[in-house]
């Protein structure tokens, strides 16, 4: 399946099932910026390149699920100062596309490699990851995070008297502050999901991100309290992300459509979880929140985008429970329509009472290779 938005930027997302990945031909990674491998374990030899790769322990779901995603750019091979476009900065692997104006970066850290000097190993690992990310972006002149994907093992577990998601938020915000980044307002679109099935001694923090010399424009949801303004009951530091972000590619094509990234979105109204225990109702509420973000983006003067135009990734907490995955699919298709471009994975959500989370994007090409 191939779907390209009219006047889309050169940015393209290619999704591969295991069967599609086994059938790739030479040149399939031409112009690739970075990739995400779902399900944990060892990626196939076809991905054994210098391409930045985020390895995520979130098992893909379905009969022939998407196991790998590759973000493609404009095929630029060099950055603006004559250095190779691919490299490593601290703990960050990256690739730059100067024509498009994007960096894709990935970080995978073992928590056990970090001392819990002030807080926890997870907090220390998170702060280290983001300090190095911002160090890379400042060195390359790409200071603005556009979209971030965070995957935290056992995200809802309590350790050292605090939920691990809250520990992650402390480490992230400390790095934002230390690197003089905003922590409210024009912050990047992001998600934070719980990787599953990792033994405690092998827990990893995995981060993938896109960054640019051009700042995205944040979009908030009028149905929800902005995450960075959550009350103290949700932790000592609020999450540092916007509900969505609109980014314009650095191309010479003034007619190129902007790219919209909708952050991980769940069944939250105001700042409270609604429909506890009802996965279908939570899915419908999540879609209602995404629709509200699209409406707000249009009011803010950005392109009008409908729900069917989005590509979705759906995170389901308990997909093995009888009827759960089918209920989520039916609720999504009932709201968006049949033929919706959606990939499903198993993951824990940042609140223990949330059963599903949905992220989305539009304005880029999309191709599914099965």
What single string gives the DSSP state of each residue in 314-340? EEES-TTSTTHHHHHHHHHHHHH-TT-
Q: Write down the pLDDT at residue 52.
A: 95
Burial of 96: CB neighbours in 10 Å, binned 0-12, 13-18, 19+: buried
CA atoms within 13 A on the CB side of 311: 23
pLDDT in tens, 254-296: 556 799 999 999 999 999 999 999 999 999 999 999 999 999 9
Q: Could you tell me if 60 and 344 are in contact, meaning their C-beta atoms sit under 8 angstroms apart?
A: yes
pLDDT in tens, 124-141: 999 999 999 999 999 999
Structure tokens at 296: 């707000």
Q: What CA–CA distance (Å, rounded) separates 176 from 167?
A: 15
Q: Write down the pLDDT at residue 5.
A: 52
Question: What Å distances lie between residue 201 and 111, 114, 149, 153, 196, CA to CA?
Answer: 8, 12, 23, 11, 13
Q: Write down the pLDDT at residue 137.
A: 98
Q: What CA–CA distance (Å, rounded) separates 11 from 364?
A: 5
Contacts of 102 (CB under 8 A, 6+ apart): 11, 33, 73, 96, 142, 146, 210, 211, 212, 249, 250
The number of beta carbons lying within 10 Å of the beta carbon of residue 46 is: 13
Task: Show the domains of the chain with their CATH numbers.
Answer: 2-261+363-369 (3.30.1330.40)
Question: What Å distances lie between residue 219 and 175, 229, 270, 274, 328, CA to CA?
Answer: 23, 14, 16, 22, 26
Strand order in the sheet with 365-369: 2-3, 365-369, 12-17, 66-72, 32-38, 53-56
Burial of 368: CB neighbours in 10 Å, binned 0-12, 13-18, 19+: middle
Structure tokens at 347: 């993951």
Question: Which regions in the chain score pLDDT beneath 50?
Answer: 6-7, 76-79, 81-82, 252
Q: Could you tell me if 17 and 369 are in contact, meaning their C-beta atoms sit under 8 angstroms apart?
A: yes
Catalytic center residues? 357
Tell me the three state secondary structure of residue 175.
helix
Helix ranges, 65-144 (H): 121-140
The DSSP call for residue 231 is -
Q: Residue 346: beta bridge partners? A: 316
Helix ranges, the chain (H): 18-22, 121-140, 164-178, 279-299, 324-336
Q: What CA–CA distance (Å, rounded) separates 267 from 108?
A: 29
Q: Write down the pLDDT at residue 254.
A: 52
Sign of CA dihedral 116, 117, 123, 126: negative
Contacts of 336 (CB under 8 A, 6+ apart): 287, 307, 308, 310, 312
The number of beta carbons lying within 10 Å of the beta carbon of residue 297 is: 24
| Unique residue bearing structure tokens 């979705």 | 312
């Amino acid at each position: 399946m191939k779907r390209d938005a009219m006047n889309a930027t050169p940015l393209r997302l290619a999704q591969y099932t295991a069967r599609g990945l086994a059938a790739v031909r030479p040149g399939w990674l031409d112009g690739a910026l970075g990739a995400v491998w779902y399900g944990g374990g060892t990626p196939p030899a076809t991905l054994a390149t210098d391409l930045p790769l985020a390895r995520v322990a979130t098992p893909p779901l379905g009969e022939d699920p998407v196991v790998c995603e590759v973000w493609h750019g404009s095929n630029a091979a060099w950055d603006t100062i004559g250095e190779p476009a691919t490299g490593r900065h601290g703990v960050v692997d990256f690739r730059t596309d100067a024509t498009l104006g994007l960096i894709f970066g990935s970080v995978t850290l073992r928590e056990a490699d970090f001392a819990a000097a002030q807080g926890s190993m997870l907090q220390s690992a998170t702060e280290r990851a983001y300090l190095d990310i911002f160090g890379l972006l400042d060195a390359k002149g790409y200071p603005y995070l556009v979209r971030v994907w965070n995957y935290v093992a056992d995200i809802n577990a309590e350790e050292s008297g605090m939920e691990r998601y809250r520990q992650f938020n402390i480490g992230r915000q400390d790095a934002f502050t230390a690197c003089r980044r905003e922590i409210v307002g024009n912050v990047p679109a992001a998600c934070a999901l719980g990787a599953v099935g990792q033994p405690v001694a092998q827990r990893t923090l995995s981060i993938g991100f896109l960054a640019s010399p051009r700042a995205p424009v944040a979009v908030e949801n009028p149905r929800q309290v902005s995450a960075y303004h959550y009350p103290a009951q949700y932790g000592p530091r609020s999450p540092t992300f916007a509900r969505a972000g609109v980014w314009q590619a650095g191309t010479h094509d003034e007619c190129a459509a902007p790219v919209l990234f909708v952050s991980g979105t769940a069944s939250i109204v105001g700042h409270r979880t609604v429909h506890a225990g009802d996965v279908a109702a939570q899915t419908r509420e999540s879609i209602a929140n995404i629709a509200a973000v699209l409406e707000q983006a249009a009011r803010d003067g950005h392109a009008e985008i409908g729900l069917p135009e989005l590509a979705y990734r759906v995170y389901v907490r308990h997909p093995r429970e009888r009827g759960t995955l089918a209920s989520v699919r039916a609720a999504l298709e009932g709201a968006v329509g049949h033929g919706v471009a959606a990939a499903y994975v198993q993951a824990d959500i940042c609140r223990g009472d949330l059963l599903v989370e949905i992220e989305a994007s539009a304005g880029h090409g999309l191709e599914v290779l099965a």
